[in-house]
Amino acid sequence: MDYVYGPGRNHLFVPGPVNIPEPVIRAMNRNNEDYRSPAVPAMTKTLLEDIKKIFKTTTGTPFLIPTTGTGAWESALTNTLSPGDKIVSFLIGQFSLLWIDQQQRLKFNVDVIESDWGQGANLEMLASKLAGDTAHTIKAICIVHNETATGVTNNLAAVRKILDYHSHPALLLVDGVSSICALDFRMDEWGIDVALTGSQKALSLPTGMGIVCASPKALEASKTAKSVRVFFDWNDYLKFYKMGTFWPYTPSIQLLYGLRAALDLIFEEGLDNVIARHNRLGTATRLAVEAWGLKNCTQKEEWFSDTVTAVVVPPYIDSSEIVRRGWKRYNLSLGLGLNKVAGKVFRIGHLGNLNELQLLGCLAGVEMILKDVGYPVKLGSGMAAACAYLQNNIPMIPSRI
């Protein structure tokens, strides 16, 4: 019994899980199938080929794993590293914190580079650590591309440049959970060794599939990496890839069909158009925040995220109340502030299968909530700023011209 159901649609604006588009829901509404029939391996083969396109890789090997982003992290780490290995990891918000916690619990020797929440990864510090590591004791650099807790996007091209400048062989492991398929992401060009995401973010699928892509260098590293791994062992997948049956265990048939439909939608729109749409959504949101007279948690423009905006509220307002109010009164789901920024920020997720007018519904809701909680917002101010920008920038829908 769905007792919380309200009239109309829930405006789901948390930064994942996100809305699932109707064609994807319909594609998943099907019976189980024998995964050992010829049909499922045939579909898997095309999925594995197509998924590489969203990572922008031709040389990577993808793994579709029944897990979440957290499991995808573990897959990346345990397949490439051994306990005691030194890794450099950036702490810039709740998700990088959780990944570091996992790295420590897996017994790696983690050198943490911490920044204020709202800032990006401290790359100067990375450069100085690499410069001092002539013996190449650092085995991997771990970085969250888009910190979902603060709305900060790190510059991966710059990280690669620093590694290359120092001719440092460390692996580059990247959490792309709230970036891949929404932000510019170039696995091959940026020399990323393992990139990963989760199905419930920009792919707009249900939660439950972790997608990990390994470079040839990462696969090579997996041959000597000594971390204990069983379910996540890439070797098991590769054995089944070779046999052409693809699955070392029972896959979720429904999720596979969902992924097929999700990728078809993305390719129909065009990946570059998807990325441009996210840029419009991010820009419109930031313009609205500015018009409300509120601050973006992200401290510099170069780190602004096009998938999530964390909005700082004045000290006399509890941001959790904004989220509660949105849910109770407007059927609007916003993201809470997490950990260090709990009560101080609320988050607007603008990723996945989402269009500009949907976003305007969310922004209108936020304005009313702000008024509800005693913030002196001028109703329509953020909407006007967002509309003025969007009206000039929304392209025609290619299939309808």
Q: Say how far residue 288 (Cα) sits from the centre of its chain.
A: 23
Q: Are 194 and 59 in contact (CB under 8 A)?
A: no
- Rounded to a whole number of angstroms, the minimum distance from the CB of residue 337 to ligand PLP is 14
Q: Please report, in angstroms and rounded to a whole number, the separation of the first and last CA atoms in the chain.
A: 43
Q: What is the largest CA-CA distance in the chain?
A: 64
Based on the shown chain and the rule CB under 6 A, indicate whether residue 346 belongs to the binding site for ligand PLP: no
* Residue-wise burial string across 234-263, b where 16 or more C-beta atoms lie within 10 A, e elsewhere: bebbbeebeeeebbbeebbbbbbbbbbbbb
- Residue range at the interface with ligand PLP (CB under 6 A); choices 21-29, 48-56, 174-182, 215-223: 174-182
Interface with ligand PLP in residues 76-95 (CB under 6 A): 95
- Rounded to a whole number of angstroms, the minimum distance from the CB of residue 49 to ligand PLP is 24
Based on the shown chain and the rule CB under 6 A, indicate whether residue 335 belongs to the binding site for ligand PLP: no
Establish whether 277 is an annotated binding residue. Answer: no
Based on the shown chain and the rule CB under 6 A, indicate whether residue 333 belongs to the binding site for ligand PLP: no
Interface with ligand PLP in residues 193-212 (CB under 6 A): 198
Cβ-in-10-Å burial (0-12, 13-18, 19+) of 125 comes to: middle
- Rounded to a whole number of angstroms, the minimum distance from the CB of residue 176 to ligand PLP is 8
Cβ-in-10-Å burial (0-12, 13-18, 19+) of 41 comes to: middle
Cβ-in-10-Å burial (0-12, 13-18, 19+) of 122 comes to: middle
Q: Is the dihedral of CA 147, 148, 151, 156 positive or negative?
A: positive
CA atoms of 68 and 210, how far apart (whole Å): 5
Quick one: 93 or 382, whose CB is closer to ligand PLP? 93
- In the list 23, 33, 41, 70, the residue contacting ligand PLP (rule: CB under 6 A) is 70
- Rounded to a whole number of angstroms, the minimum distance from the CB of residue 157 to ligand PLP is 19
- Rounded to a whole number of angstroms, the minimum distance from the CB of residue 89 to ligand PLP is 13
Based on the shown chain and the rule CB under 6 A, indicate whether residue 356 belongs to the binding site for ligand PLP: no
Residue tagged 């003025």 (tokens): 388
Based on the shown chain and the rule CB under 6 A, indicate whether residue 148 belongs to the binding site for ligand PLP: yes
Based on the shown chain and the rule CB under 6 A, indicate whether residue 175 belongs to the binding site for ligand PLP: yes
Q: Where are the beta strands (DSSP E) in 267-374?
A: 295-296, 308-312, 332-334, 345-349
Q: If DSSP codes are grouped into helix, strand and coil, which group holds residue 290?
A: helix
Question: What residues form DSSP beta bridges with 111?
Answer: 88
- Rounded to a whole number of angstroms, the minimum distance from the CB of residue 28 to ligand PLP is 18
- Residue range at the interface with ligand PLP (CB under 6 A); choices 22-30, 64-72, 290-298, 364-372: 64-72
- In the list 54, 77, 173, 177, the residue contacting ligand PLP (rule: CB under 6 A) is 177
- Rounded to a whole number of angstroms, the minimum distance from the CB of residue 198 to ligand PLP is 4
- Residue range at the interface with ligand PLP (CB under 6 A); choices 23-31, 170-178, 215-223, 296-304: 170-178
Quick one: 178 or 287, whose CB is closer to ligand PLP? 178
- In the list 178, 222, 307, 353, the residue contacting ligand PLP (rule: CB under 6 A) is 178
Nearest CA to 227 out of 88, 73, 351 is that of 73
What are residue 144's phi and psi, to 5 degrees? -90, 120
Question: What residues form DSSP beta bridges with 117?
Answer: 119
Based on the shown chain and the rule CB under 6 A, indicate whether residue 341 belongs to the binding site for ligand PLP: no
Residue tagged 């900060």 (tokens): 152
- Rounded to a whole number of angstroms, the minimum distance from the CB of residue 392 to ligand PLP is 31
Quick one: 138 or 308, whose CB is closer to ligand PLP? 308
Q: Which residues are annotated as a binding site?
A: 347
Residues of this chain that interact with ligand PLP (CB under 6 A) are: 16, 68-70, 95, 144, 148, 175, 177-178, 198
Q: Which residues participate in the annotated binding site for substrate?
A: 347
